[in-house]
């Protein structure tokens, strides 16, 4: 499931030092460019986080930026951004994040299936570490595909 929703074109790496706002905007960029979400969706995510949305911090330096579908989801999709240096949510060191995901679900069914798939992958410590160490988008896709096939 996740391997279909997270294609290579949606996986990026950067050495740039970013703020959390820049990281959320950048991780969402491939979804906006593909027409999966509108710019309003990105703004809704930023507004939600600014209002105290550290709930997107999944732990282990991973955040899952998202908003409600009615704020601009056109098609279900996921994007990933790996940062060299963490961009702490709300500039709080206890919410240091260096692996950002943007999640856009068009409906409740897609939301549940995609979230379950992502949760399984991120709950697996060796796979989570391999995602951190991946050096290319193709490597990330391969890791995810192999994980899904092993289930």
Helices (H), the chain: 2-5, 20-33, 39-50, 108-123, 125-133, 137-150
Q: Tell me: the pLDDT tens digits for 88-105?
A: 999 999 999 999 999 998
Cα separation, 80 vs 96, whole angstroms: 16
Domains in the chain and their CATH numbers?
2-150 (3.40.930.10)
pLDDT at 110 over 80: no
Cα separation, 29 vs 25, whole angstroms: 6
As a whole number, mean pLDDT of residues 8-30 equals 97
Residue 115 near residue 58 (C-beta atoms within 8 A): no
CB atoms near residue 107 (< 10 Å): 10
- SS3 assignment, position 120: helix
The whole-number pLDDT of residue 33 equals 98
pLDDT at 113 over 80: no
- SS3 assignment, position 106: coil
Q: Residue 80: phi, psi to the nearest 5?
A: -135, 140
More confident residue, 118 or 104: 104
Cα separation, 17 vs 83, whole angstroms: 8
pLDDT at 76 over 80: yes
pLDDT confidence band for 14 (50 / 70 / 90):
very high
The whole-number pLDDT of residue 2 equals 79
0.85 exceeded by pTM: yes
């Amino acid at each position: 499931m996740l391997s279909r929703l997270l294609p290579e074109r949606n996986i990026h790496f950067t050495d740039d030092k970013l703020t959390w706002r820049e990281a959320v905007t950048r991780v969402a960029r491939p979804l906006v460019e593909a027409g999966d979400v509108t710019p309003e969706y990105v703004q809704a995510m930023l507004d939600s986080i600014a209002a105290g949305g550290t709930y997107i911090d999944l732990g282990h330096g991973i955040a899952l930026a998202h908003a409600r579908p009615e704020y601009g989801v056109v098609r279900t999709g996921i994007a990933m951004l790996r940062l060299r240096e963490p961009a702490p949510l709300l500039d709080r060191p206890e919410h240091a994040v260096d692996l950002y995901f943007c999640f856009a679900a068009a409906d409740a069914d897609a939301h549940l299936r995609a979230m379950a798939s992502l949760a399984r992958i991120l709950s697996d410590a060796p796979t989570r570490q391999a995602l951190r160490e991946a050096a290319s988008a193709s490597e990330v896709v391969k890791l995810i595909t192999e994980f899904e096939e092993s289930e």
